Amino acid sequence: MTQPQKPPKEVVVKLGDVQFVVPPGARVKDAAAAAGIEIPALKVDPATCKGCQMCVKVCETGAISGNKKEPHAIDQSVCIRCGECLAKCKTGSIVPA
Protein backbone atom coordinates (compact mmCIF):
# COMPACT_ATOMS: atom_id res chain seq x y z
CA MET A 1 0.00 0.00 0.00
CA THR A 2 1.44 3.37 -0.99
CA GLN A 3 1.27 6.27 1.39
CA PRO A 4 -0.47 9.45 0.28
CA GLN A 5 1.91 12.15 -0.87
CA LYS A 6 2.31 15.17 1.34
CA PRO A 7 1.12 18.42 -0.19
CA PRO A 8 3.95 20.73 -1.26
CA LYS A 9 5.06 23.18 1.41
CA GLU A 10 6.16 26.75 1.14
CA VAL A 11 9.90 27.22 1.44
CA VAL A 12 11.59 29.99 3.42
CA VAL A 13 14.70 31.12 1.54
CA LYS A 14 17.47 32.94 3.38
CA LEU A 15 19.70 35.21 1.37
CA GLY A 16 22.30 36.91 3.53
CA ASP A 17 20.39 38.82 6.20
CA VAL A 18 17.02 38.76 4.43
CA GLN A 19 14.54 35.99 3.88
CA PHE A 20 11.43 35.47 1.77
CA VAL A 21 8.78 32.80 1.30
CA VAL A 22 8.38 30.76 -1.89
CA PRO A 23 4.81 29.43 -2.14
CA PRO A 24 4.26 25.87 -3.42
CA GLY A 25 4.65 25.74 -7.20
CA ALA A 26 6.18 29.22 -7.45
CA ARG A 27 9.58 30.02 -8.92
CA VAL A 28 12.17 31.35 -6.48
CA LYS A 29 13.05 34.32 -8.69
CA ASP A 30 9.37 35.36 -8.92
CA ALA A 31 8.86 35.08 -5.15
CA ALA A 32 12.03 37.10 -4.55
CA ALA A 33 10.90 39.80 -7.00
CA ALA A 34 7.50 39.98 -5.29
CA ALA A 35 9.36 40.58 -2.00
CA GLY A 36 11.49 43.29 -3.62
CA ILE A 37 14.63 41.15 -3.62
CA GLU A 38 16.97 40.67 -6.56
CA ILE A 39 18.88 37.38 -6.61
CA PRO A 40 22.59 38.30 -6.64
CA ALA A 41 25.47 36.28 -8.06
CA LEU A 42 25.75 33.16 -5.92
CA LYS A 43 28.55 30.87 -4.79
CA VAL A 44 28.86 27.68 -2.79
CA ASP A 45 30.49 27.89 0.63
CA PRO A 46 32.90 24.92 0.55
CA ALA A 47 33.13 24.88 4.35
CA THR A 48 29.46 23.91 4.70
CA CYS A 49 28.61 22.17 1.40
CA LYS A 50 28.09 18.42 1.96
CA GLY A 51 28.01 17.55 -1.76
CA CYS A 52 24.44 16.22 -1.64
CA GLN A 53 23.83 17.38 -5.24
CA MET A 54 20.32 18.74 -4.60
CA CYS A 55 21.39 22.06 -6.11
CA VAL A 56 22.84 20.29 -9.15
CA LYS A 57 19.51 18.55 -9.77
CA VAL A 58 17.47 21.78 -9.79
CA CYS A 59 19.93 23.92 -11.78
CA GLU A 60 18.28 24.34 -15.17
CA THR A 61 21.44 25.63 -16.86
CA GLY A 62 23.95 23.14 -15.46
CA ALA A 63 25.90 25.94 -13.78
CA ILE A 64 26.53 23.90 -10.63
CA SER A 65 29.05 21.10 -10.64
CA GLY A 66 30.83 18.88 -8.19
CA ASN A 67 31.28 15.28 -7.15
CA LYS A 68 28.96 13.64 -4.66
CA LYS A 69 30.03 14.25 -1.04
CA GLU A 70 32.46 17.00 -2.12
CA PRO A 71 31.91 20.77 -2.18
CA HIS A 72 30.30 22.03 -5.38
CA ALA A 73 30.91 25.19 -7.40
CA ILE A 74 28.78 27.61 -9.46
CA ASP A 75 30.00 28.71 -12.88
CA GLN A 76 29.08 32.41 -12.94
CA SER A 77 29.23 32.52 -16.74
CA VAL A 78 26.40 29.95 -16.93
CA CYS A 79 24.30 30.85 -13.86
CA ILE A 80 21.12 32.82 -14.63
CA ARG A 81 20.49 33.73 -10.96
CA CYS A 82 17.14 31.96 -10.82
CA GLY A 83 17.70 31.05 -7.15
CA GLU A 84 16.27 27.53 -7.35
CA CYS A 85 19.44 26.21 -5.69
CA LEU A 86 18.80 28.50 -2.71
CA ALA A 87 15.49 26.78 -2.01
CA LYS A 88 16.95 23.27 -2.31
CA CYS A 89 20.14 23.66 -0.27
CA LYS A 90 19.47 22.25 3.20
CA THR A 91 22.83 23.37 4.62
CA GLY A 92 22.61 27.05 3.62
CA SER A 93 25.76 26.66 1.54
CA ILE A 94 24.51 28.77 -1.38
CA VAL A 95 25.51 32.33 -0.48
CA PRO A 96 25.96 35.69 -2.22
CA ALA A 97 29.21 35.76 -4.21
Kindly indicate the confidence band of residue 20, based on its pLDDT and cuts at 50, 70 and 90. very high
Q: What is the mean pLDDT of residues 62-86?
A: 97
Q: Evaluate if pTM is beyond 0.75.
A: yes
Q: Give pLDDT tens digits for 22-68.
A: 999 999 999 999 999 999 999 999 999 999 999 999 999 999 999 99
The structural domains of the chain, ordered by start, are 11-96 (3.30.70.20)
Query: In one letter, which amino acid is 1?
Result: M
Kindly indicate the confidence band of residue 5, based on its pLDDT and cuts at 50, 70 and 90. confident
Per-residue DSSP letters for 25-85?
A: T--HHHHHHHTT-----EEE-TTT-----HHHHH-TT--EE--TTS--EE-TTT-----HH
Question: Is the pLDDT assigned to residue 1 strictly greater than 70?
Answer: no
